[in-house]
A and B are shown apart, each in its own frame.
Chain A
Amino acid sequence: MVKITFITSDNETITLEGKSGSVMALAVDNGIKGIDGDCGGVCSCATCHVHVAPEDMSKTGSASQIEADMLELDDNVNEFSRLCCQLEISDSLDGIVLKVAN
């Protein structure tokens, strides 16, 4: 199981365990506040915006071009921004910390 920690805008810290699928789907299934995933995970709505902990950026990598463009919908975008529908759960993500952007 891969452990992923979310910190919500209310400063609540929730660690979830996932096997596969996207980080967005894991968050939605567990009702993480601020992660809506309205488009179902096709990088079309920008409602799953997270800020990756700086030290974890090497694990997640940075956003693709289309993802980076979509992130600009949100004023809250910074160099650590990702849309978590584009993060596939795998062992390499184990232990990452994501701050929910909204």
Chain B
Amino acid sequence: MSNRLIKNKTCVVVGASHAGVNCAFALRREGWDGDIILYDADPLLPYHRPPLSKAYLTSDDDIDKNLLKSAESYEKEGISLNLGVSVKAIDRTHKNIILGDGSIQSYDKLVIATGARPIIPSIPGLANSNNAFPLRTATDVANIRHAVKNSNKKQVVVVGGGYIGLEIAASLKKLGAKVTVLEREERILARVTAPEMSALFQNLHLEKGVEICTNKNVIAIETNNGEKIVCCDDGTCYPTDIIIIGVGIFVNKELAMAAGLDIENGIKVDETAKTNDEDIYAIGDCTFHYNPHYGRYIRLESVQNAVDQAKVAATSICGKETRYDTIPWFWSDQYDIKLQMVGLSQGYDQVIVRKEKNDNKCLSFWYFKGEILLAVDAVNNAKAYVYGTKLIKSGERINKEKLLDCEADLKIAHLISSKIS
């Protein structure tokens, strides 16, 4: 029956990054035999975003080495990829979208995968400042690489000590820049991790020669004889050639909002990634969705969420039963540190830090609420990440004493004492 329903229909996907592209390919896999039309304002073939602040930034690679899918893959699957095209509006009554040039494309099903854009804070002097960049796109990376290459002093100030800011700091240090990170909170990664993790990364960056300054609220960018000065509200000033802005993102929700779709902290979707319009889905960074495991609505900025929600939406659009129920996971690479995170630590009341014997660079942070394991941050410790994933999923009760015993090897059988009833 589902095949009959989807015959010769058109599915339009707005946004061709991790979520949109994966959704398009998943639609074909799930049996959508009508048109699949992808739009994105970015003129470049869709690429992997996580490497942009990591390995890609420090390489000389062209973005072609970093593509989500080859150009031929789209042709082979009959996916129409329209790049450099913006979408202006959604007309739900007539079931069509209006493109930047005013032309109209009708849809039977529409997927909104518009993602997010960097917040550019309204700091006086920033808008007029040259060599000030966010990092979200391959073009941003090209601009940053070019600025660093052409800078004599190679002095960089990174505003924002979150994962993006810290990854950029590590990468630019590798490129030979002198890097200072200014964080508004009292510790880096304050929003996302425990103080112990913040301390670990603070020390790591200091060891590598990156200056990290906390409690720094940037209030102005001044230009003096061509030199930029980043000024903070405590009176401190940081002269620099290049400014990187990494203070978070805004969800690209305007299209959905103007179309009258439900919006909260993102575009609100149900467990099949459907909005309050039967024929419109939303996936990826732009969605506010329910996570059954944690029992609350959340918004996630991650590849995992983009890809998994894309598959759920595609399955649902093809008329099959499905439900989004994944434990979120993330990763970050800084210098020689591989950080892998699983679960959501928000609401934890205890964090157990485990250092493996024989390897002081191999750590893990286990976040609990009572006896329930919420999340694990694993530093150079894939084993802890994998066991954390399994234990969060199974809900098995963990023997904390054994977890704390770093003399004993990390073994899953060792960690489990009894099931939570």
Subset of 10 A-B contacts with CB under 8 Å: A28-B69, A29-B73, A39-B303, A40-B51, A42-B50, A44-B331, A65-B382, A66-B382, A69-B383, A69-B386
The yes or no answer to B191 lying at the interface (CB within 8 A) is: no
Tell which of A29, A38, A69, A72 touches B70, judged by Cβ atoms closer than 8 Å: A29
| Closest B residue, CB atoms, query A66 | B382
Min CB–CB distance A81 → chain B (angstroms): 13
Nearest opposing residue in chain B for A75, CB measure: B390
Q: When the two chains form the complex, which single residue of A29, A36, A65, A73 contacts B389, counting CB atoms closer than 8 Å?
A: A73
Does residue B77 face the partner (Cβ distance < 8 Å to A)? yes
Indicate whether B338 reaches chain A with its CB closer than 8 angstroms: yes
Asked if residues A38 and B69 are in contact (CB atoms below 8 Å), the reply is no
What residues of chain B have their CB less than 8 Å away from a CB belonging to chain A? 25, 29, 48, 50-51, 55, 65-66, 69-70, 72-73, 76-77, 303-304, 307, 329, 331, 333, 338, 340, 382-383, 385-386, 389-390
- Measured between beta carbons, the chain B residues less than 8 angstroms from A73 are 386, 389-390
Q: How far is the CA of A40 from the CA of B389 in the complex (A)?
A: 20
What's the least CB distance linking B109 to chain A, in Å?
22
Q: Are A69 and B76 in contact (CB under 8 A)?
A: no
Closest A residue to B71 by beta carbon equals A29
Q: Is the CB of A31 within 8 A of B303?
A: no
| Total A-B residue contacts, Cβ distance less than 8 Å | 50
- B69 and A29: CB pair below 8 A? yes
A4 on the interface (CB 8 Å rule)? no
Interface of A toward B, CB cutoff 8 Å: 21, 28-31, 33, 36, 38-40, 42-45, 65-66, 69-70, 72-73
Shortest CB-to-CB span from B285 to chain A, Å, is: 15
Interfacial chain A residues near B383, Cβ < 8 Å: 69, 72
CA–CA, A66 and B303, complex, Å: 20
How far is it, in angstroms, between the C-alpha of A56 and the C-alpha of B308 when the chains are bound? 33
Choose from B50, B73, B386 the contact partner of A72 (Cβ within 8 Å): B386
Q: Which of chain B's residues have a CB closer than 8 A to the CB of A40? A: 48, 50-51, 66, 303
In the assembled complex, the Cα of A33 lies from the Cα of B73 at a distance in Å of 13
Interface contacts beyond A38-B304, A40-B303: sample of 16 additional A-B pairs, CB < 8 Å, sorted by A: A29-B69, A33-B29, A38-B303, A38-B307, A40-B48, A40-B50, A40-B51, A40-B66, A42-B50, A42-B55, A42-B331, A44-B340, A45-B304, A65-B382, A70-B385, A72-B383
- Distance A93 CA – B383 CA, assembled complex (angstroms): 28
Report B-chain residues with C-beta under 8 Å of the C-beta of A65. Answer: 382
Which residues in B have their C-beta under 8 angstroms from that of A28? 69
A66 to B70, CA, bound (A): 28
A40 to B307 CA separation, bound complex (whole angstroms): 12
Nearest A residue to B304 via CB reads A38
Shortest distance in angstroms between A80's beta carbon and chain B's nearest beta carbon?
19
Least CB separation from B51: chain A residue: A40
In the complex, the answer to whether A36 meets B331 with C-beta atoms within 8 Å is: no
Contacts of A31 in B (CB 8 A): 25, 73, 76-77
Of chain B, the residue at the smallest CB distance from A74 is B386
Partner of A66, one of B25, B50, B304, B338: B338
Given contacts A29-B70, A66-B338, A69-B382, contact A36 B76 (CB under 8 A): no
Task: Across the interface, name the chain B residue whose C-beta is closest to A72.
Answer: B386
In the assembled complex, the Cα of A101 lies from the Cα of B287 at a distance in Å of 31
A39-B389 contact given A31-B76, A44-B340, A66-B382, CB 8 Å threshold: no
